[in-house]
Amino acid sequence: MGVLAHYFDGIGQYEVAATLSGFATTTFATNYVPEIQIAITHLREALGEGAYASFAGRGATMTNAVMAKYALEQIDLVRAELLHADESP
């Protein structure tokens, strides 16, 4: 989820990225996937501390199943946007 958070941050989907980062921010994850901390730092700047904390807090409370469903839904939305962009003249 940390890698996904970094990806969504990179494409400007800040709310999604913040939600994913809230779930992914563990000592293990931040030690082994430094991209998480990079994304979190940027998200705090882009969203503001209060908004980031709200989205991250939501992600932190999600169960594994709920987070997996959320992540897959967000991936599907981005995929659909990209496919639609490819079809545009």
Name the pLDDT band for 43 (thresholds 50, 70, 90): very high
- Residue 5 CB-density burial (10 A; 0-12 exposed, 13-18 middle, 19+ buried): buried
Residue 73 contacts residue 36 (beta carbons within 8 Å): no
Compute how many other C-beta atoms are within 10 angstroms of the C-beta atom of residue 47.
18
Taking residues 45-49, report their average pLDDT. Answer: 97
**pLDDT one-digit tens code per residue, 28-39:** 777 778 888 889
Is pLDDT above 70 for 88? no
pLDDT in tens, 14-25: 999 999 999 987
- Average pLDDT taken over every residue of the chain: 91
